[in-house]
Amino acid sequence: MTKNKPKILVVAAKKEIANRIERLFEGKVELEQLKSTSAIQDRFRRKTYDILILNSTVARKNRKKTIETLNTITNKCPVTQILLIAEPEDIDFAMSALLVGTYHYAKMPMPDRELKLLVETALADRPDYGTNMLLDIRDGMSDFDAIIGNSAPMQKVFKQVQRAAAADIHILILGETGTGKDLIASTIHRLSKRSDGPFIPVNLGSLPMELVSSELFGHEKGAFTGAAGRRIGVFEQANEGTVFLDEIDNVDEKVKVSLLRLIEQKRFTRIGGRRQVKSNARIIAASNADLEKMIQNNEFRKDLFYRLDTFRISLPPLRERHGDIPLLAENFVSRYSKSFEHPINKISREYISQLEEYDWPGNIRELKNVIQKSVLACYGKILQAKHLPANIKGKKRSKPAVKFEIGTPLSEIEKEMIQQALAVVNNNRSKAAELLGISRRAIYNKLNKYNID
């Protein structure tokens, strides 16, 4: 499998350690340096590092703060190995650093052989799975492209995307039509260790049933009428990369059996061929259907479902993403006003209110279409409710519902209900208390209890 270079962050006042590592590993690692500990967490908000190397001369300048930072990195980014390079007078600090999760420490002076072995051992012992919970998932658009949302359901999705990217396993994405399953899949690939490999999306619902096998696995010349030459299928093209199978519920039994065999053996045979072809492609499958109900009706293979359902991401419909519609609308208005060369300076409150009153059965895809039509219908600088398509105007949304899995702790349920109530009433705490049937004093106590801003 294609792997990126290990990323190492060196925190030291001088360049000696960084220069030695660069020389010892001859460009096989990606190296960055900071001269103080104050910016460590800021770096981790933008990137995940395999190793953090900290020199005690900078660490001791603010000992308490440094220990807090190391503790945060240990808990929030467990995939990072922390190495402390200690000066002889800082051994007591090294002991404190070990207590909060530092992987190892070494004393200066240290020969090249020992330094190289220390780094190699740390890389070898690095956990295979984990995620960097410090990444700025709301503002870090370089990490999450156009996945926009501050709502509690989307924050959960962002964390799942990070976990899915870190674990090299098959992924199942479920969600209604138009919720952005393709965007989630491409983001997982781009953040994963397979990012150097190809990402090939296949919409199985749009392909004629008789062509699906050829598209996925390829065929040999003469395999069937019209097969004038050999065709290389998607799984062969995407070896060491990712294949995104959208609408997985649409494939027939023969294709399901072939997919199951590929997942189990990492091999397949082209149609009309005899030689087995290897493929280490990762599968991200998606569906807007209830696959478990299809299994009960004998419409989907249980064994294939369990192979794909190693890690599941359920995307919330737009109607449950309270507070995200204004963010999405602003993004789409900006995009289309530039595309149509028609600058719009403002979106009226009435326009946003109408969007928030609608149920959005087509989810984000439908919202994009509505915004596009609105921008085309607007001849001024302000987008107003009158620019909405007729089928959107005056439509009332059904009351939002919140679902919880059996076994969810009551404290989590209470916190989520408070956050959802605040989102529905635009953070008006008095109205949220009224919705929840509690007093203003009670809601303020609970906001403090759950650390809700």
At 95-106, the pLDDT tens digits run 777 777 777 878
Answer whether residue 394 is part of any domain.
no
Q: Considering 287, 314, 341, which residue would you say is the last residue of a domain?
A: 314
Residue 434 CA, distance from chain mean position: 35
Q: Note the pLDDT of residue 312.
A: 95
Distance, in Å, from the CA atom of 122 to the CA atom of 110, rounded to the nearest integer, reads 16
Residue 97 and residue 112 share a domain: yes
Q: Which two tokens stand for residue 93?
A: 């600090």
Q: Note the pLDDT of residue 102.
A: 76
∠ CA 340-331-205 to the nearest 5 degrees? Answer: 85
Answer whether residue 404 is part of any domain.
no
Given a cut of 60, whether residue 347 has pLDDT beyond it is yes
Q: Note the pLDDT of residue 105.
A: 78
Report the CATH number that the domain containing residue 277 is assigned in CATH: 3.40.50.300
What residue ranges in 252-333 does DSSP mark as E strands? 267-269, 276-278, 282-287, 311-314
Answer whether residue 74 is part of any domain.
yes
Answer whether residue 401 is part of any domain.
no
Residue 287 and residue 168 share a domain: yes
Q: Note the pLDDT of residue 397.
A: 58
Residue 283 and residue 156 share a domain: yes
pLDDT per residue over 297-323, tens digit each? 999 999 999 999 999 999 999 988 888
Mean pLDDT: which of 47-56, 92-101, 386-395 is highest? 47-56
In a 13 Å sphere around the CA of 197, the CA atoms on its Cβ side amount to 23
Residue 244 and residue 224 share a domain: yes
Domain that holds residue 297: 141-314
Residue 231 and residue 112 share a domain: no
Answer whether residue 392 is part of any domain.
no
Own/partner contacts of 329-338, CB < 8 Å, gap of 24 or more, are: 329/355, 329/367, 329/371, 331/146, 331/148, 332/367, 332/368, 332/371, 332/372, 333/371, 333/374, 333/375, 333/383, 336/371, 336/372, 336/375, 337/375
Section 131-147 average pLDDT: 54
Residue 345 and residue 265 share a domain: no
Answer whether residue 190 is part of any domain.
yes
Going by pLDDT thresholds of 50, 70 and 90, the confidence category of residue 39 is confident
Using a pLDDT cut of 90, give the percent of the chain over it: 35
Given a cut of 50, whether residue 143 has pLDDT beyond it is no
Number of domains in the chain: 4
Going by pLDDT thresholds of 50, 70 and 90, the confidence category of residue 398 is low
The DSSP letter of residue 33 is E
Answer whether residue 131 is part of any domain.
no
Beta-bridge partner residues of 84: 54, 105
Terminal Cα-to-Cα distance of the chain (whole angstroms): 44
Residue 28 and residue 53 share a domain: yes
Q: Note the pLDDT of residue 166.
A: 85
In a 13 Å sphere around the CA of 76, the CA atoms on its Cβ side amount to 17
- The pTM score is 0.62
pLDDT per residue over 77-88, tens digit each? 878 899 888 887
Q: Classify the C-alpha dihedral 182-188-194-195 as positive or negative.
A: positive
The rounded radius of gyration (Å) of the Cα atoms in the chain is 26
Residue 293 and residue 146 share a domain: yes
- If DSSP codes are grouped into helix, strand and coil, which group holds residue 312? strand
Residue 40 and residue 147 share a domain: no
Q: Note the pLDDT of residue 129.
A: 56
Residue 262 and residue 153 share a domain: yes
| CB neighbour class for 409 (10 Å; exposed up to 12, middle 13-18, buried from 19) | exposed
Going by pLDDT thresholds of 50, 70 and 90, the confidence category of residue 182 is very high
Report the CATH number that the domain containing residue 364 is assigned in CATH: 1.10.8.60
Q: Which two tokens stand for residue 380?
A: 């001024």
Section 133-147 average pLDDT: 53
Of 55-64, 214-223, 372-381, the one with minimum mean pLDDT is: 55-64
What residue ranges in 271-310 does DSSP mark as E strands? 276-278, 282-287
What's the mean per-residue pLDDT of the chain? 85
Choose between 428 and 170: higher pLDDT: 170
Residue 88 and residue 11 share a domain: yes
pLDDT per residue over 238-292, tens digit each? 999 999 999 999 999 999 999 999 999 999 999 888 889 999 999 999 999 999 9
Distance, in Å, from the CA atom of 394 to the CA atom of 139, rounded to the nearest integer, reads 33
Using CA atoms of 273, 279, 281, 285 in order, give the dihedral in degrees to the nearest 10: 40
329 neighbors 366 (Cβ within 8 angstroms): no
Q: Note the pLDDT of residue 173.
A: 97
Q: Note the pLDDT of residue 282.
A: 95
Using a pLDDT cut of 70, give the percent of the chain over it: 92
Residue 243 and residue 145 share a domain: yes
Q: Considering 293, 314, 335, which residue would you say is the last residue of a domain?
A: 314
Q: Considering 333, 356, 387, which residue would you say is the last residue of a domain?
A: 387
Residue carrying the six token digits 């989102």: 423
Q: Which two tokens stand for residue 327?
A: 């963010």
- DSSP letter string over 153-206? HHHHHHHHHHHHHHS-S-EEEE--TTS-HHHHHHHHHHHSTTTTS-EEEEEGGG
Select from 261, 264, 200, 257 the least CA-distant residue to 234: 200
What residue ranges in 370-422 does DSSP mark as E strands? 382-383
Q: Note the pLDDT of residue 1.
A: 40
Going by pLDDT thresholds of 50, 70 and 90, the confidence category of residue 141 is very low
How, if at all, do strands 276-278 and 267-269 pair?
antiparallel
Section 405-427 average pLDDT: 79
Section 218-242 average pLDDT: 86
Answer whether residue 405 is part of any domain.
no
pLDDT per residue over 152-172, tens digit each? 888 889 889 988 988 889 999
Q: Note the pLDDT of residue 137.
A: 46
Q: Note the pLDDT of residue 318.
A: 93
